[in-house]
Structure 1
Amino acid sequence: MRKIGHAVAWCALPFPQYEFPDDDNVVDSPLAIFGHKIPGHGEARVEINFWFFLFVYYGFYNITALMWITKVFNIYSLNWWPKSLGFPLTVSIIAAMSIAAPIPFYCIPELRYITSHNTAWICWTFFAMAMPLLVAFAILLNHERHLGLRNPLSETQRLFTSSWWTGDSDTINARDRPRRANVIRSQSTFDPNASLEVALASDDIYRSRDAQRMLRKRWLPASFVRFMWFCSALLIAILTYLLGETYAEIYLRTLPHSTIETLVYVYSWVVTVHLLDGLCGWILGGNEGERVGSYPLGWIFKLYFALTYQTYVRALYARLRSPQQFIYLQIMSSSFLILLAPLTISAPFHSLLTLLGLSGQSYTEYQKFCTRNIFLRGLTENVSMLTFLGSILVLHYGANKDVYPYFAFDTPIAPPTNQTLSSITDKFFPSIPHLPHHLPASNTPPINAPPQYDFRLTFYASIVTWGCEIVAGWITRRILWWGWKINVTAEGKRDLAAWPELLPTGVVVMVHVLQNMLFSIVRLEFH
């Protein structure tokens, strides 16, 4: 509950707001004249204080993102900051740089328009989150770990490499080094009493392969390869967030949608997230010695992807126009869970994956991963729905209603008739060509029509949807218990007890993902 409260309280911080100047009065703007209401996330209604946004709102968002990266590095068992500077100073420098970067864009009038785009701020956060990766990479290069170590690794150092699990060393043993002097001596001297030896071509091939293997081991130690796999998983996770922003922007810019279009959007996003989640899961691995080979990291990344998927679906609820759309979405979601969860955890399905080469785990290990996924799905459903309900309440009735017009649920203004439109355009825009009067009548509902997006519908339908999700999750867990004697909740608690660092890292990850959704719909127009 505390993590949900942090995200909701963050978006509820009252912004210093200002009315638009007289020359920007919306009454005389084309949007007001044509009765046009920007769909989706809405247009900015007020100007906000840039410095409050930068240091309070965006500053807390950036710090949370950096804490997420740091906690993930902690699970990886690697400190990304330079030892000479320490963590507080290093993270303070990166946070200060990320906050200072947008200031020139605001101070230069020709570039100020960039600060009105949420995508620009998200990209700045993306670069800030990538800084720990670059710093850690630079530290590895500076220590020349990728060139091979001349001294054997200590027991503590080997804890951070796959050599601890595989029994290999990150150094080249003395017996494996080529003895160049002996080779030269044997080639340059002749012993008439020596026995005859025949040099085969295959011997050269074997020597060449051994040399290549030693070079690969010298230039790419296991610790460096493992770190590069870890960085690739982090970059995929960050890019997933940017991809989610693109999906949401496309959907919101093209509202309203029919039920079929809504289903296509939702489940294309579901497929995309699951494919990227599967790729990250393959990179992280679940067994020691596999690429990254960290079950706790796989747990955290699975939580990140599941919550990213859920938060964007929750935000979609605010733009559903009828109970039927809620019903169709929930029927498909609950049906997939109840039917697919027992199917995917069954032994025949595991055998099929093994036959296709998609899984190298034993059936017991595979069952544990499936159980973990079901546990995290239920957790993210509850967290995302609680945050969604809390955020629409505080933003619809709170002081930031005009800053978040997405949750204002205003009645759209019907456009005027053709003749009225012509008279208004003649008055304010004489250069615009006249509209033909023989056009068919508009299908726009009358002005006293009910709101297109209704707060009561969204709020109460979301509560009903949440109840259906809880019931579907309970049914799924009962099926798994009756069929396989698997207790999903007990498995989740066992993971949290075995790896205590999962809890604080999971809290930071959830706060960050929930902030992502709320940050993407705030309307930025600075005073």
Structure 2
Amino acid sequence: MASFFDFQTGDANRALNEVSPLLGRFRAVPDPQQRVNATRQQNSNLGRRRSVGRGLGLAYGTVFGGIAAGSEDSEDGEGGGWRSWGRGFRDLWMEPKQNAVARAVDIWAQRWALLALLPAALAVAWCALPFPQYDLLEFDDNGGHIKGHETPGHGAARVEINFWFFLFVYYGAYNLTALMWITKVFNIYSLNWWPKMLGFPFTICTIAFISIAAPVPLYFILDSPWFFHFNTTWILWTFFAMTMPLIIAFAILMTNERHLGLRQDLSETQRIFTSSWWTGDQDYTTVAARDRARTSIHNSDVYDPNAPLEVALAVEPRPSLGGRALTMRKRWIPASFMRFIWFCTALFIGMLAYVLGEAYAEIYLRTLPHNTFDTLVYVYSWVITVHLLDGLTGWILGGKEGERVGSYPLGWIFKLYFSLTYQTYVRALYARLRSYTQFIYLQIISSSFLIIVGPLTMSAPFHFMLQMIGINGQTLPAYQKFRARNIFIRTLSESTSMLAFLGSILVLHYGANKDVYPYFAFDKFKMPTEGSDPGHGGWEGRGEDYDFGRTFYASLVTWACEITAGWIIRRILWFGWKVDVTGEAKQDLGMWPELLPTGVVVMVHVLQNMLFSIVRLHFH
């Protein structure tokens, strides 16, 4: 028999990048050289392949072994270095490739430089951009004290800042990062939110321009309105800008009638396998008979194939049957459209979380000082809130195919988002702790919770209990993989948030923006006493010290304790269940290379949220 195709055993890893079709367990490879390269790739990985899906229904192997011959290893000729650097940048950030990302995260130093140091450095560089500053007017034209200058939690305002620099540089970069986060999440979902005819650059630039230009008329008409001085106002405006891609994507799908099950007529062949087109017991074996029947149904308004599809029963008289009969009018919403609705819901909850975080921070800062009990109540009420939102989002995204959104990489990114959101607001709290005792209590509870509860939730009895109450429907191996992923993400969030916190303390306490961020000036603020006149004599009363040295060094010790706790929990999981937390994370990043750029953008955005919530806005 003549051979039309050359076949070789398929590999699920290479299936994501190669253009040749995967036919069951075999791949059609018309190009002999491609077959040679693929075979060499397969042989190099053969000895190191292992399954990490383990119950997820995903059969994929490691991608850390070898790379197809001639793919990326060398560049000849003058200027090859620059070309190699450009190709490496593209393969990591612009169009992530499995092999490039797998190599980058295989070594621990490179992995933590990309995942922890890079986002922290970008956030610190953003807040370190020097603001044009002007002397602060303490009194108005009538000699009255200007309200809002004395805000104990944020620190007393010291300077006025240039509105245009804030709007176009500082806030513009903040908004652009938020829009990039939304875009990267849509990329993982495999959906472009922008109109095809306009393209991504034009659409995102238009939204960014609107988000920046819209406040300008209010600034001039209302003459620097008072609500511009509140951080929450700008964060809510960014929240609106972030919802615009969701609105555009929803409008595109509705315009294309993606919410309808029958968006176009089926072919004659497709109709053979579709029983929902036939009603009654008439003879539809010919095209003319079927058309007559459909015309009759249209005229009687019993069945309209172009109507919105949802299941409903219609009772109509059927003369041919001599009575009344039940006919099915098929009205249903496609699963793909429902999946998109679930995705938008998860994204909306994620955006809502950072608005709630700003509200929590505002309440805490405006009610200072706090004792240890108040601090613990604030921290763990925020912990509970974040975990509830995280759990709800995780349920929406699902743990396996067919469950609502059913996307493992999306769950990875949203888990990172919520974990870092929780950590960043806790870090900002450190700058308002007044004793080492408060640091110790917080860290003992946090580390003990991880070391004790982590292995407990990994156990088979705990998983069985979750199945009994209907919370989790995964197999034990799949559940344990999710737990390992969560532990890696937690330790990553702790290190990234601490790096950003320590870096921002240094550059904002000693740098040019010290007066713009009085929160990190660690001034002694004083509560007003009865009879004092803050309008003319300033605040008087007892002082509360917030010490830079205590905050910085106690935070370093806290970070060391977190790293130690992370090491202990990894050893427990390995010796108890043979679960390699780091190995599973490397497999995830190599399998879904888009996780790397998306994760970095998400972390930069969350870190910016923390810093934006404590900047003092008094415009010149």
Q: Same fold (TM over 0.5)?
A: yes
Secondary structure, in 3 states, of the residue corresponding to 1:267? helix
Secondary structure, in 3 states, of the residue corresponding to 2:225? helix
Matches within 5 A, 1:314-329: 314-329=427-442
Secondary structure, in 3 states, of the residue corresponding to 1:47? strand
Matches within 5 A, 1:19-58: 19-21=135-137, 23-24=139-140, 29=145, 38-58=151-171
CA drift of 1:21 comes to 3.8
**Aligned partners of 1:105 and 1:114 also within 8 Å:** no
Aligned residue type for 1:315: A
Unpaired runs of at least 5, structure 1: 155-168, 192-198, 430-441, 446-450
Distance 1:25 1:262, change over 3 A: farther
Q: Which has more strand, going by share of residues?
A: 2
CA drift of 1:173 comes to 5.9
Residue matched to 2:578: 485
Matches within 5 A, 1:83-94: 83-94=196-207
Distance 2:595 2:211 in 1: 27
1:188 corresponds, among 309, 316, 319, to 319
Q: Which deviates further from its counterpart, 39-48 or 490-499?
A: 39-48
CA drift of 1:29 comes to 3.1
CA drift of 1:92 comes to 0.5
Residue matched to 2:345: 232
Residue matched to 2:517: 404
2:133 corresponds, among 10, 17, 32, to 17
Question: Is structure 2 residue 525 aligned with structure 1 residue 385?
Answer: no
Residue matched to 1:494: 587
**Aligned partners of 2:218 and 2:225 also within 8 Å:** yes
**Aligned partners of 1:37 and 1:413 also within 8 Å:** no
Matches within 5 A, 1:210-289: 211=328, 214-216=330-332, 220-289=333-402
CA drift of 1:223 comes to 1.2
Distance 1:491 1:319 in 2: 37
Identical-residue share of aligned pairs (%): 66
Matches within 5 A, 1:114-513: 114-151=227-264, 174-179=274-279, 182=282, 187-189=318-320, 211=328, 214-216=330-332, 220-413=333-526, 421=532, 444=542, 452-513=545-606
Distance 1:65 1:416, change over 3 A: closer
Distance 2:469 2:280 in 1: 46
Distance 1:403 1:31 in 2: 17
**Aligned partners of 2:450 and 2:569 also within 8 Å:** yes
TM-score normalised according to structure 1 size: 0.83
Distance 2:227 2:266 in 1: 50
Distance 2:522 2:321 in 1: 95
**Aligned partners of 1:105 and 1:115 also within 8 Å:** no
TM-score normalised according to structure 2 size: 0.71
Unpaired runs of at least 5, structure 2: 1-116, 284-292, 297-316
Distance 1:142 1:417 in 2: 64
Q: CA RMSD in A?
A: 2.9
**Aligned partners of 1:37 and 1:412 also within 8 Å:** no
Residue matched to 2:67: none
Secondary structure, in 3 states, of the residue corresponding to 1:234? helix
Distance 2:141 2:562 in 1: 45
Secondary structure, in 3 states, of the residue corresponding to 1:148? coil
Distance 1:417 1:349, change over 3 A: closer
CA drift of 1:413 comes to 4.8
Residue matched to 1:194: none
Q: Which deviates further from its counterpart, 12-21 or 382-391?
A: 12-21
Aligned residue type for 1:175: S
**Aligned partners of 1:65 and 1:129 also within 8 Å:** yes
Q: Which has more helix, going by share of residues?
A: 1
**Aligned partners of 1:371 and 1:488 also within 8 Å:** yes
Q: Which deviates further from its counterpart, 107-116 or 179-188?
A: 179-188
Distance 2:272 2:130 in 1: 61
Question: Is structure 2 residue 219 aligned with structure 1 residue 106?
Answer: yes
Please list the CA deviations of residues 99-139 of structure 1 after superposition, one character each: whole Å capped at 9, or x if unmatched. Answer: 01111121123562121111111111111100000000000
Distance 1:26 1:360, change over 3 A: farther
Distance 1:386 1:190 in 2: 77
Distance 1:510 1:521 in 2: 18
Residue matched to 1:66: 179
Please list the CA deviations of residues 375-423 of structure 1 after superposition, one character each: whole Å capped at 9, or x if unmatched. Answer: 00000000000000000100000110111010010123576896xx48x
Aligned residue type for 2:617: L
CA drift of 1:39 comes to 1.7
Count, aligned residues: 470
Aligned residue type for 2:250: F
Distance 2:415 2:246 in 1: 20
